[in-house]
Structure 1
Amino acid sequence: MGRYTDLPTLDIDFLKPARLSFDTKGGGLEGGRNGLGESVTIETSGGGVLVGSYESCFIQAREEHEYINWVAAWMNSGVRFMNVPIKSDWMGPFPVDSRNIPRPIIGGIPHSDGALFADGAGYSQTTVIANMDAAALNAGKITLRIYGAARNLRWSDWFSIYHPNKGWRAYRNWDHTDPVPAFETIDGVARAGQRYTLSLDRPLREAVTQGTRVEFARPRCVMKFPPGFTLPWEVQGFWRASPTLQFVEGF
């Protein structure tokens, strides 16, 4: 079994895509027709495969051209992988700011003495944290605990699970139980949140242990370029480029 941990993560903010698309494909097979002539679908045991794309990225600065060329050098072989974040900031159980805009990540956090880094930047952390109970390979349901959420979970929520060998894998839920109170001490901090049992859109990619990390902010998935796709370096006038990146879940 391949190991897909410790991979680089695509810096999607740096690429500034104009459009994104993520989908789960191939979850069922045509199983013939019944006596009424109706199509019968057979669900595959592994579920569908995640596919995605970021289109019409805005590339102009020298560093942006350098970065897109590095991504191509790393990924064009089709045998190397990277963590691709799903930029689902607008959705999710995140707190909102004064403009009613969700805040999945807080930045500008100083050191313990109140100082920032030399360039004025600080640390960052997610506003919502979550972990899950132990679950077996190909589990269709999981139980998780979530803390810091501004609302109950919904069917539209994307999240990712950090598997011990398969690395980050992204999921959606299509049904869930009503939340019940959850209490836990994490990193020495007592937290109160909610516990849910979720039905996954595709089976769990690998067995996980109690307390496995679950991420709702920028959920990530191990992905590679699909067969036949490469990322060429193409430049227009004034050093403008608008590359499109396509991805398929890596195995």
Structure 2
Amino acid sequence: MRKSNLYWSITDGWTMSQRSLKHIFREPESLLMAIGLPVAIMVMFVYIFGGAIQTGTDYVNYVVPGVIITCAGFGSSLIAISVTQDMVGGLFERLRSMPLLPSSLMIGHVTGGFIRNVIATTVIFLVALLIGFQPNAGFLDWLGVIGLLSLFMLSLNWLFVAIGLIMKSVETANAATFPMLFLPYISSAFVPTETMPVWLQAFADNQPMTPLIETLRGLLIGTPIDNNGWLTIFWFGSLLIISFIISGAIFKRRKKE
């Protein structure tokens, strides 16, 4: 009996996902960078700047959600570089001559990036606990944290797939990820937004990273969430859908070139 396109999408996607996973462990530099940079940022802010920043709670408890988002964003940005490398390096053309769906290339990068982010985020949590992080989240709160982080990672993964498909060189792909990686620094990740100049506070309060961080902070340490949870789902649910559609459209266009 002839297999359906869905069957081949799943099996071929798993094949390319295995390829991405092997790259993570055979070339661990990207994983180490995805862990090392956020850990360095967290330790620096907690031990150097933490004593001077008043947040109403222990600074380590305040800063951990922002560090986790920074970690996940950096890990996802590596996908754009990998996708561009595959496109300009000839892998895409090679897949055309093999019994694999070329679209499985995107699925493999998204899956591999997600697993890399899960590993890096877990390490960040463990390091945070070692330096004094004290979450008081219950079981449902932890489920909410996992769900929101998964939504955030998948939405960024597909966004960076789209960027990787557009760019013509690894260098430009790397540069194109910078605006998204910079957003956590202009949010409530490291300092309360009310301490910022009025014009900057307006941007910080109304960009997608702030409601995400405030929701994670509320779930982890019990600060008010208000409507930030719904805003987070709206922002990153929309980003996931739009990025997925755009990635598919760009990929189809590249197939015809």
Q: Which of the five TM-score ranges fits, normalised by the shorter chain?
A: under 0.3
Q: TM-score w.r.t. structure 2 length?
A: 0.25
Q: TM-score w.r.t. structure 1 length?
A: 0.25
Higher helix proportion: 2
Please say which structure displays the higher CA radius of gyration: 1
Higher strand proportion: 1
